[in-house]
């Protein structure tokens, strides 16, 4: 009887989708996630495209409707075992019979006792930048990464927690009425026996300070697209108000710059495939907040392919008034008094040399392989492509198989296929189907 368990590595939308499909089919699924909560990149977004079916008055975020129910389902599904703060350390065996050694890092919180009342977080004296908020907002040393995190349990960040640094503080333990704090908690070693593995570890973002000409890190009002997503999100650092970093005022003009690190032989020569789409989406979002805001999109080619995107691009121009400029600015300069960004550029359609002053600049930076992918690939024995993404067995005929039988992949871990959320879900579905095929379909003699 073929092994009835599957391991899914990565708790983003692709991992969650694959996990639920397999769980519904009756597999036991271990969903393992490195960070304290599942949700992945999608949980960081404000809106997703298309938004046509929803009420225009919605002041929430899309993922509340789309992702959240799936996250909760993972948590409650009888066939799913959710392992957060956990990592795969060793893998042996083969298709149908993999032995996986997992390390579950200590949260220093008893998972069956914490009720997420929030008192410990309130009282904790240590503040550090919150990774989920792209560093724009702080969290405490005992924290929950975002309000809707699953599992909704706090975690202690031992590196920054005073109790672990100098033994001085025990405030959270003192105030916790559920007696959930356990400083003595150790890492747990688990050995899982699964028939197949799906890798869905997603992507990281290119650090634009590698291009000093754009001033990221030097000029306050140069941000990245993901940072803007957090700012626009109603649960983010500014509670959804579009305010610019230098003076906290609403910007009157916003310039999006595409292909930062992508399509660039100095860094990543591929096209990240989602930036043209998401920048359009965000440009419209900015315009919807305040139609008087000037929004400029500096592009090389406007790659708005697939269902509805070109129409959306046209709509953005005609109805919302987003200005498209076919140009790739070489550098951004800062006005020392106003902290506005100034760029000289050539409008390549007309050939005229112009300059533009924008209150806020948003860099659409490349999507790059997740840190740790090389190590994970070694552990699993799977191949990587020359950019460091997971290599497909065959790009055309086996698009979700890796180079090792029984191990599959889905989502941006495979690189910039078409990359957006519906595609990640499609691939996850395909990977789940492949697992079902290899584990349960009887081979004809």
For binding to another protein (CB under 8 A), which residues are involved?
213, 259, 263-266, 300-301, 326-331, 343-348, 351-353
CB of 286 to another protein, least distance (A): 23
CB of 265 to another protein, least distance (A): 4
Rounded to whole angstroms, the Cα distance separating 355 from 136 reads 29
Q: What are phi and psi of 142, to 5 degrees?
A: -105, 125
CB of 326 to another protein, least distance (A): 7
Give DSSP secondary structure letters for 6-29: EEEE--SHHHHHHHHHHHHTT-EE
* CB closer to another protein, 34 vs 323: 323
CB of 353 to another protein, least distance (A): 6
Rounded to whole angstroms, the Cα distance separating 242 from 218 reads 21
Here the contacts of 331-337 (C-beta below 8 Å, separation 24 or greater) are 331/213, 331/214, 331/215, 332/213, 332/214, 332/215, 332/219, 332/222, 332/361, 333/215, 334/215, 334/218, 334/219, 334/221
* CB closer to another protein, 358 vs 425: 358
Residues 6+ apart with CB under 8 A from 34: 85, 86, 87, 372
Rounded to whole angstroms, the Cα distance separating 43 from 144 reads 14
* CB closer to another protein, 228 vs 259: 259
CB of 330 to another protein, least distance (A): 3
Cα→Cα distances 349→51, 190, 324, Å: 31, 60, 11
Strand order across the 407-409 sheet: 80-84, 28-33, 5-9, 196-199, 407-409
CB of 331 to another protein, least distance (A): 6
* CB closer to another protein, 266 vs 443: 266
Strand order across the 333-334 sheet: 333-334, 341-347, 352-358
Cα→Cα distances 313→56, 173, 425, Å: 18, 53, 23
Enclosing H/E stretch for 318? helix 309-318
Tell me the longest C-alpha to C-alpha distance in the chain.
78
* CB closer to another protein, 329 vs 411: 329
CB of 3 to another protein, least distance (A): 47
Three-state DSSP class for residue 276: helix
* CB closer to another protein, 63 vs 298: 298
* CB closer to another protein, 166 vs 352: 352
| Pair of tokens at residue 146 | 């975002």
* CB closer to another protein, 214 vs 408: 214
CB of 351 to another protein, least distance (A): 6
CB of 259 to another protein, least distance (A): 7
* CB closer to another protein, 266 vs 307: 266
DSSP structural state of residue 216: B
* CB closer to another protein, 291 vs 330: 330
- 427 alpha-carbon distance from chain centroid: 17
Rounded to whole angstroms, the Cα distance separating 246 from 51 reads 31
CB of 334 to another protein, least distance (A): 11
CB of 416 to another protein, least distance (A): 16
Rounded to whole angstroms, the Cα distance separating 293 from 256 reads 13
* CB closer to another protein, 105 vs 267: 267
- Report whether 185 contacts 108 (CB < 8 A): yes
């Amino acid at each position: 009887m073929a092994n009835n368990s599957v391991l899914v590595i990565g708790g983003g939308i692709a991992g969650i989708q694959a996990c639920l499909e397999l769980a519904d089919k009756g597999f036991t699924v271990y969903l393992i996630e490195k960070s304290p909560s599942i949700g992945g990149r999608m949980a960081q977004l404000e809106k997703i495209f298309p938004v046509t079916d929803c009420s225009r008055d919605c002041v929430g975020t899309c993922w509340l409707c789309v992702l959240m129910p799936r996250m909760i389902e993972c948590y409650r599904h009888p066939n799913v075992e959710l392992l957060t703060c956990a990592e795969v350390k060793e893998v042996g065996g083969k298709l149908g019979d993999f032995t996986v050694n997992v390390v579950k890092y200590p949260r220093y919180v008893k998972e069956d006792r914490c009720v997420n009342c929030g008192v410990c977080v309130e009282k904790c004296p240590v503040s550090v930048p919150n990774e989920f908020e792209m560093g724009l907002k702080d969290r405490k040393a005992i924290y929950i990464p975002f309000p809707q995190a699953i599992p909704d349990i706090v975690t202690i960040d031992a590196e920054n927690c005073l109790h672990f640094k100098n033994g001085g503080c025990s405030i959270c333990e003192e105030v916790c009425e559920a007696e959930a704090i356990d400083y003595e908690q150790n890492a747990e070693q688990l050995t899982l026996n699964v028939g197949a593995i799906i890798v869905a570890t997603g992507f990281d973002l290119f650090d634009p300070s590698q291009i000093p000409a754009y001033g990221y890190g030097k000029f306050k009002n140069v941000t990245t697209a993901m940072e803007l997503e957090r700012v626009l999100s109603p649960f983010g650092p500014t509670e959804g108000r579009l305010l610019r970093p230098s003076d906290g005022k609403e910007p009157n003009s916003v310039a999006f710059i595409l292909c930062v690190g992508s399509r660039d032989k100095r860094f990543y020569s591929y096209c990240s495939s989602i930036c043209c789409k998401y920048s359009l989406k965000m440009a419209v979002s900015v315009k919807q907040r305040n139609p008087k805001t000037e929004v400029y999109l500096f592009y090389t080619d406007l790659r708005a392919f697939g269902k509805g995107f070109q129409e959306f691009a046209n709509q953005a121009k005609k109805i919302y008034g987003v200005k498209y400029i076919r140009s790739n600015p070489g550098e951004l300069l800062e006005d020392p008094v106003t902290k506005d960004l100034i760029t000289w550029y050539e409008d390549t359609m007309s050939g005229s040399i112009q300059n533009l002053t924008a209150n806020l600049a948003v860099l659409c930076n490349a999507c790059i392989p997740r840190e740790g992918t090389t190590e994970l690939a070694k552990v699993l024995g799977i191949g990587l492509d020359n950019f460091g993404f997971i290599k497909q067995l065959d790009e055309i005929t086996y698009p979700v198989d890796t180079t090792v039988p029984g191990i599959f992949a889905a989502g941006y871990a495979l690189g910039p296929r078409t990359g957006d959320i519906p595609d990640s879900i499609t691939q996850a579905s395909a990977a789940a189907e492949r697992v079902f095929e290899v584990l349960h379909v009887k081979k004809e003699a």
